[in-house]
Each structure stands twice: as structure tokens, then as C-alpha cells.
Structure 1
Amino acid sequence: MSHNPYSEKHVVAIGGGHGLGRMLAALQNFGGNATGIVATTDDGGSTGRIRHCQGGIAWGDMRNCINQLITEPSINSMMFEYRFKGAGELDGHNLGNLILAALDNMSVRPLAAVNLIREFLKVDVNILPMTEHPADLCALSKDGRWVKGETSVDEMNDELQMLDIEPEVPATQEAIEKIAQADTIILGPGSFLTSIMPPLLLPTLAKAIALNTNAELIFVENLSPEFGPAGKMAFKQKLEWCERACRGRKIDTIIGPGTDDEVIQAWRYLETDLASSNRDWRHDREKLQIAIEARIFS
């Protein structure tokens, strides 16, 4: 019987939206030993409208991650990604978001809805919401003003003092357990304030990262500059915010294009070309896979 190295390692990636989706696609060989912990604070677009009408957690980032893990295009996957057009109330809504919201209303808990969809679309990688309770991202500006809601935080002109999640909600228990088992924990790539930071603001999740000192904690850098308040932050500052959220736990390795001397001197930095050949602002799945597997199996 052939030896499968992927069955011996557990990997957790934390973030949201497109960046986490690409990372999870790069981890597909790990199957059920790979887990994505997804930010659930989005309040824009179709997701925001569903939250406004129905309540519940934000489904958009989870839908995006699941969609990037569909290996065989099918009528099921086309349905899941279908976006309504027209002049009515359905305009702009994504059918996947509506299916997840409907399943959530029918299920005992949001995770059951996610697992039903994973089964329906034959997705092996685990997808876990960071929390199963509705919550919003909040930011405190340098002039002492609190701003609530991910979209509003993204549109702030001022520099930020701190971030918080409101109300205080518990992390999903399965997410805590997966972090405790992990050999590798990956942050990013993705929007810093709205994808990477929200899960780290949940105390039990951050504590689980801090306690798992056997895991390698890797940060994967973005390839294009960010806008809004995140664009005003130095990369070093972002890394320090992550470490502070994780109870002072040091980031072991940073993987990126190698443009920031201050960071290269202060952390173990692996300079690697991760850019997609046709869109240099986007991470290439195969390059990500090679870079991450080199760390996992080193």
C-alpha cells in the first residue's frame, strides 16, 4: 500500500474571501486534513442584504471558499455560483448565499448548512465559520470614534487604533479543535482588516493559536497594495497586530515577494514568486501549493 504523506499532516488556514479560497485550493491534496476558518463579519453586497433581512452570519466568504474548491464543474456548482440580474429585489443576489441562508434557517446550526453544501458539491476540505453567531467588525479611529460594520471600516479615512467584534461571540468549537490539532497554521493572503483580523479577535480562537506552540505559524503576504485604513498600515504593523491578537505568539515564517527590508530583517522571510502569470496581483494556486508544502514537509 503506497504511503500518503498528506494523511499525516493537519493544516488550518484562516481568513476570508478570495485569498482564503485560493489558499484552500492550494491545500486540496490534504482533503479532510485541511481546514479553512472563515471570517463571517461581511455586511456588503448580497451577503449584507441577506443579513439585513434574515439576520444570521455572513455567508459570502464561505460561499467563495467552497466555490474555489469545486474540482469538477457541474450543474450543481453552476447553480451555487449563479447571480441574479434584473430590476427586482433578487438583482445582485447570489444563489449560493440564498441556499446557505435557507439551509441555516432549516438546520440546527450554520455548520450543518455548510456541511450539507460540501456534501452536495463533493468538497473534502473542511470549511468552518469563525463563529456561528451574527457579529460585526468595529474599529476605533485615532480621534476616538467607533465605526461599526465591515463596509464602513473599509471606507474610513483615518488611521485605526484598534479593532473589535461586536457583540462578543464565541468561536466555533470545531475551529478551536482543528487549531489545537494543526501542524501548520496559515494567516492570509487576504484583506488584512476584514479577512485576516476578524477571526483573531475571537479570544478563544486566538488563545488556541497561542497554545499550539508545536505548529508553524505562517503569514502569506498580499501581492497588491490595500486601500482604505489597511493601506495606511505598514506591513510590520500588520504582523505586530496579528501577534498581539494571538497573545504575543510570534509568526514563525512569512512567505511573500520580498519587498519590505524592515520585515525581512525582523522575521524569517521566504522570498518566493507567488503571482499568477496573467494577473500579477493574484496568487497562483500551484505556486502557493509548492511554497506551503515545502514548509509543511520540510
Structure 2
Amino acid sequence: MAHSRRFEKDSRGFPRVVCIGGGTGLSNILRGLKRLPLDITAIVTVADDGGSSGRLRADLHMPPPGDIRNVLVALADTEPLLERVLQYRFTGGEGLAGHTLGNLMLAAMTEITGDFTQAVKELSRVLAVRGRVLPASAEDVVLMAEMTDGTIVKGESRIPESGKRIRRVFLSPPEPEPLEEALEAIREADGIIIGPGSLYTSILPNLLVKDMCEAIRTSPAQKIYVCNVMTQPGETDGFTASDHIRAIDEHVGDRMIDVAVINNEVPPLSVQKKYADKNQRMVVPDVDRIHRMGIRVVADNLLQYQNLLRHDAERIGAHILRLLRERTKRLQSG
């Protein structure tokens, strides 16, 4: 707890950044941002209904903890072994197999405190998280999708598996109540980072929460969209970078994004083949089309490859820090 208070004190005066999303994409970016002089708030989707998160959600009537857990671990000041422990997924035991220890800790903390948001805060203190982690809404939210053939698919985990093309996604209940702390963080931000992450199942569920888009649109912050590097089967098959932005505009209105950060490096053919076997392709960086949408583009080699393609979190962090410093200079000179 002492470490957390020290960081809070040291981070005063740092640019305030709000990161919005979910899944592994957001977690990966946060690992890079937490090393920079930034005051970070992560707003995380609570629409997951698959795996361990879905089971805890159904059994304990709590918001799904999986994406929150990943973000907490990404921002935590922990030893590598502790991170492995938090991410450990049990393989045996009646009722235990499939659960991660981090999810169970969030479930336990929710029952102890009586509130999921408070549970996230308490676990953040225990893990000495560098920043704040907030659920987009404390309500029980279900993600729905209308497909291009008119059918409705219910549940975040079922949407990509439907074999159909998505026309739009929406929440049930519609416009769930937001967390006031999340809205306040957006209003006070210097930069708002949307993505990377699953477009329809990680990013848009946050933006569809009541008052979230209005808070983003009216915030004086610079709004930065970090586009995915690869398409996702069942969600963004064949999408270019501008298609991702267009989908956001169609759901929440245009003029949401000021700057798009996109990858322009082509993966090696061996890597492309590995992903093609899973029906994934590189997201084409159609820069000119994004410019015509009135959006500034930062295009760079953002790829990092180990076993999987990931964003180069360090390079993206450097771009974000530069954009925020440019904004500060403009404000000071204006």
C-alpha cells in the first residue's frame, strides 16, 4: 500500500492518460505505458461471458473479472513469479479446473467488500498497481450483436463464433450506468487511448455505456486510436485500418478520434502463413483513406513477434508520449 501511495504522489503533474478497451491488446500496451511518466487510468470492458469469467459471472452474479485481471497484472509492480501465480489456470479439481487464481481472488474480494469496483481497488493496492483500473460499468451487462442477415446473437463469446458478419453490436440493458470515476477520469484526461483490442467485443462495449461517448467527445484530451495489427476471425475479416475506424463511427458518431496509430510493417511470410491458417490477415494501413476522414495518422513498424504477433508496446508508448507533449506545447503557445 505504501508503494501505491508513493506512486500516486510521484505521478502528480504527469500527463493524465485514460486507456479504454479490454483483452490482451490493452494489457500489452499498458505494460509499455506504465514505464513512462504518465498518470494512467484503465477503463475495462465487463461484457465477457466466456471461460472462467463467464462461470464466475453466472455462479456468483458478479461482473466478469478476466479482462480486469489481465489489466491489473499488466499494471502491477510484481515479481515475475507472482504474475505467473495470478495468471495460473487450474487444470484439475471438481469445479476448479479452468479458473485462474486471479479471477478467484477478485471473486473473493468482491464477496468480502460487497462491491466489485471496491474489490478491484483493494486488489490494486495489494498488487501496487501503477495507476487506476476501473470497470466501465458496475451493472451486469450482456453484449448483443445484430448480424447482416438480421439475426441476433447473444453473448460476447458467441458473436465471433456465429459464422456471420456483424452489422452492429449493442448492450443489454441498453446504456448501462457508467462508473462516475470513469467519466471523471475522461473529463480530466490529457490523452484518451482507445484500443488495441477486439473491435466489436472489447472496444465498442465500453463506448456503448451511457454517457461514455459524450464524455470522450467533449473532453479536451487528445483522442488516440491504436489499431489492431491483424484481423480477427468472426469480427473484422477483411478489415483495413480505416474500416476499424468506420465501424466505431457507425456505432457512436464520427469525430471521436483525433489521431490513429497504425502498423505499416508487413510481417515475414512465414508469420503471415501461420496466421492465414487461422483466417487472420494483416490489417492494411490505408493511410490516405484515414486522412480523408479528417484523422491524423502515425504509421510505424509496431510489430513485435515471439510466439504471437503483438504491438511493440515500447514504441507505441513513445509515440503516445510524443503526441501528448506536442499537445502540451500547443496549449502553452496558444
Q: Same fold (TM over 0.5)?
A: yes
Counterparts in 2 of 1:66-215, with a 5 A limit? 66-73=72-79, 76-86=82-92, 88-168=94-174, 169-212=176-219, 214-215=220-221
Residue type at the aligned position of 1:24: L
Note if 1:263 corresponds to 2:270. Answer: no
Residue type at the aligned position of 1:123: V
Aligned-pair identity (%): 32
Unaligned runs of 5+ in 2: 1-9, 265-284, 327-334
Counterparts in 2 of 1:279 and 1:264: CA distance versus 1, 3 Å: farther
Question: 1:217-253, CA deviations, whole angstroms, 9 ceiling, x for partnerless residues?
Answer: 1111111221113225443232123234444333111
**Aligned-partner Cα distance in 1 for 2:245–2:181:** 26
Note if 1:281 corresponds to 2:309. Answer: yes
Counterparts in 2 of 1:238 and 1:85: CA distance versus 1, 3 Å: same
Counterparts in 2 of 1:185 and 1:68: CA distance versus 1, 3 Å: same
In the other structure, the counterpart of 1:294 is 322
**Aligned-partner Cα distance in 1 for 2:49–2:248:** 23
SS at match of 1:294: helix
Residue type at the aligned position of 1:182: A
Counterparts in 2 of 1:245 and 1:209: CA distance versus 1, 3 Å: farther
**Aligned-partner Cα distance in 2 for 1:232–1:120:** 43
1:25 is displaced (CA, Å) by 1.8
Moved more, 231-240 or 184-193: 231-240
Number of residue pairs aligned between Structure 1 and Structure 2: 294
**Aligned-partner Cα distance in 1 for 2:231–2:29:** 19
**Aligned-partner Cα distance in 2 for 1:218–1:59:** 26
**Aligned-partner Cα distance in 2 for 1:25–1:206:** 25
SS at match of 2:76: coil
Is contact 2:231-2:239 (8 Å) kept?
Answer: no
In the other structure, the counterpart of 1:219 is 225
Unaligned runs of 5+ in 1: none
In the other structure, the counterpart of 2:275 is none
**Aligned-partner Cα distance in 2 for 1:64–1:163:** 24
1:88 is displaced (CA, Å) by 2.4
SS at match of 1:282: strand
Length-normalised TM-score, structure 2: 0.82
1:206 is displaced (CA, Å) by 1.1
**Aligned-partner Cα distance in 1 for 2:118–2:82:** 18
**Aligned-partner Cα distance in 2 for 1:7–1:83:** 39
Question: 1:71-108, CA deviations, whole angstroms, 9 ceiling, x for partnerless residues?
Answer: 33166544422221125221111011011112112224
SS at match of 1:114: helix
Note if 1:11 corresponds to 2:17. Answer: yes
User: How large is the RMSD of aligned CA atoms in angstroms?
Assistant: 2.2
